[in-house]
Amino acid sequence: MTKCRNCGAQLNSGDRFCPECGADQQGSSLEALMTIGGLETMDPSQARPTEREGMRDLSPGTEFSGRYIIESIVGKGGMGVVYRAHDKLADKAVALKLIRPDRLAGQGAIKRLISEGITARDIRHHNIVAVYDVGETEGQPFVSMEFIKGQSLRDWHRDKIRQRQDIPLRVAARIIAEVLDGLAAAHGAGVVHRDLKPENIMLIDEPAEAASPLKILDFGIARATSGAMDSGTGTGLGTPRYMAPEQVTAADSAGPSADIYSLSVIFYELLVDVLPQGHWQPPSGGRSDVPKTIDALIERGLSNRPANRPQTAKEYRKQLVDAVNVGPAYVPETKPERTPVTGGSGGMFKWIGISSAAAFALFLLIAVAGAIGNENGGGGNGGEGGANSPYASLSGRWDDGAGNIYNVSVSGNGAFSGTGQSSYGYNLQITGKLNGTAGDFTLSAPGAGLNYQGRMHWDQGCHISYQTYDMSGSFAAQGQIHVNHPPGAPCP
């Protein structure tokens, strides 16, 4: 065994980066190494002439793979080209990404691309761009994805820098929280992104404290954490400035915490406008609105040792909430109306603050915490809903799309009550009643001393939309419950 030339730690054969200090053991620049979703690619300037062959452009009206009708070019880069296309089979617009075969490290990498894309098709979350299809046609690798309109986090941040505007801590934290929600769903499905960077985060609307609609791109070409490692496919590398050291130390050791590292780089960059390189300055050193708890969280996330980072996206999210809430007191100027806040200064970290007890849990539920083991017979007045009850179809399996599934019982008069458990282990209590298609409910986490009110709307089918508020009336969260079917599947 050899030793790290920087810190002297013992290295395993083939280690490129020291697992202790992260020092590069080969001394070569990583700038020439690039990836697409964790697959090794080659810099065109270093490729052989035969490897620099371009792809033919597809003009509008061209049919690709017998299924996609090209409509227009969305973007073009060194990795390939993205088209807006019409999927004849699904009868909808999609983003069709054609990847240059010469940018992938051999046929093995193409096979892994297809394998990982198939894995990612099972992920459905409002913060992740859905993957519909992946394959290869006449030697051309492609990925068909959800078509969205928006602006990359990179471009949005550059606009702020040009305008000399700092990103408020609570807005930056909201962005990070949304990304963490998406990562939690992907990691729960056994998929690691491995190339998380601002270019791969698409903002659907202007970020604010109350909401930051966004989607993570390129999960369709991520590596399945539960899959077998194929050392010959060239996996393991991310974008150099954002990748965790272990991604090139040993590819098979790069798990969910590698995404935590990359997201910590992004968080730091949003607050400071530069990357955390060398002896980086803590964000609080140049910003009065950033508490030292944020410094500590980012430092943990950037640890060279994966074991020292938050181990899951949910854990990181909870620590983010706690870190933000010890900062300067946040009091809205006026009491907000009981409607969702989409911008301005009201409500954001009223929302993220509830994560101390159930920030992720509130994403789950209205009625879902559910009548599991309910001693009051589902709210009591009217008994269980029979076949003639308008609410009969609401009893059964409830899925919030974030990996949380519940068994729910609703009484014949629409009343419900029960207990459940949040993703952070807090016991929850819920009571409420549907009157027709609308209803109100109360959700509490007694162990954390937190109480919330909410409104719900049933579409008279298999979906329930909800909004939650804290006891002062500030908007907290909103989402949708899927009854007796997984998200994305047809209603029963």
Q: pLDDT tens for residues 101-150?
A: 765 656 666 677 777 777 777 788 999 998 888 888 888 888 899 999 89
Q: pTM (2 decimals)?
A: 0.58
Q: What is the model's pLDDT at position 467?
A: 74
Give per-residue pLDDT as tens, 373-389: 333 333 334 444 456 77
Of 81-85, 232-236, 284-288, give the lowest mean pLDDT range: 232-236
Q: Cβ–Cβ contacts within 10 Å for residue 238, how many?
A: 26
Which tens digit of pLDDT belongs to each residue from 198-231? 999 999 999 998 888 999 988 755 443 333 333 3
Q: What is the CA radius of gyration of the chain?
A: 24
pLDDT band (50, 70, 90) for residue 488: low
Lowest mean per-residue pLDDT among 65-79, 408-422, 453-467: 408-422
Instruction: For residue 407, name the pLDDT band (cuts at 50, 70, 90).
Output: confident
Question: Is domain 151-332 classified as CATH 3.30.565.10?
Answer: no
Could you tell me which of 488, 439, 433 has the C-alpha nearest to residue 465? 439
Q: pLDDT-derived band of residue 470, with 50, 70 and 90 as boundaries?
A: low
Q: What pLDDT is attached to residue 59?
A: 92
> Residues 312-321: what's their mean pLDDT?
93
Which pLDDT value is given to residue 5?
A: 67
195 included as an active-site residue:
yes
Burial of 226 (0-12, 13-18, 19+ CB in 10 A): exposed
Say what the pLDDT of residue 156 is: 96
Q: Catalytic residue among 195, 218, 399, 400, which?
A: 195
pLDDT digits (tens, 9 = 90+) for 30-59: 333 333 333 333 333 433 333 344 566 799
Q: What average pLDDT does range 171-183 have in this prediction?
A: 95
From the annotation, which residues make up the binding site for ATP? 97
Distances from the Cα of 403 to the Cαs of 62, 187, 275, 398, 467, in angstroms?
Answer: 39, 10, 33, 11, 19
3-state secondary structure the chain: CEECCCCCCEECCCCCECCCCCCECCCCCCCCEEEECCEEEECHHHCCHHHCCCCCCCCCCCEECCCEEEEEEEEEECCEEEEEEEECCCCEEEEEEEECHHHCCCHHHHHHHHHHHHHHCCCCCCCECCEEEEEEECCEEEEEEECCCCEEHHHHHHHHHHCCCCCCHHHHHHHHHHHHHHHHHHHHCCEECCCCCHHHEEECCCCCCCCCCEEECCHHHCEECCCCCCCCCCECCCCCCCCCCHHHHCHHHCCHHHHHHHHHHHHHHHHHCCCCCCCCCCHHHCCCCCCHHHHHHHHHHCCCCHHHCCCCHHHHHHHHHHHHHCCCCCCCCCCCCCCCCCCCCCCHHHHHHHHHCCHHHHHHCCCCCCECCCCCCCCCCCCECCCCCCCHHHCEEEECCCCCEEEECCECCCEEEEEEECCCCCEEEEEEEEECCEEEEEEEEHHHCEEEEEEEEECCCCEEEEEEEECCCCEEEEEEEEECCCCCCCCC
Give the dihedral sign, CA 357/359/361/365: positive
Selection from 317, 262, 327, 257 nearest residue 290 by Cα: 327
The pLDDT of residue 176:
96
Closest CA to 144 of 78, 100, 82: 82
Range in 29-33, 67-71, 190-194 with the lowest mean pLDDT? 29-33
pLDDT of residue 281: 87
Q: Around Cβ 478, how many Cβ atoms within 10 Å?
A: 17
CATH of domain 359-483: 2.40.128
**pLDDT for position 445:** 66
Better-scored residue on pLDDT, 9 or 454: 454
Per-residue pLDDT, 183? 94
- pLDDT attached to residue 29: 35
pLDDT of 178 strictly over 90: yes
Per-domain boundaries in the chain: 1-30, 151-332, 359-483
Mean pLDDT of 447-466: 77
Tokens found for residue 316: 């990181």
Model confidence at 413: pLDDT above 80: yes
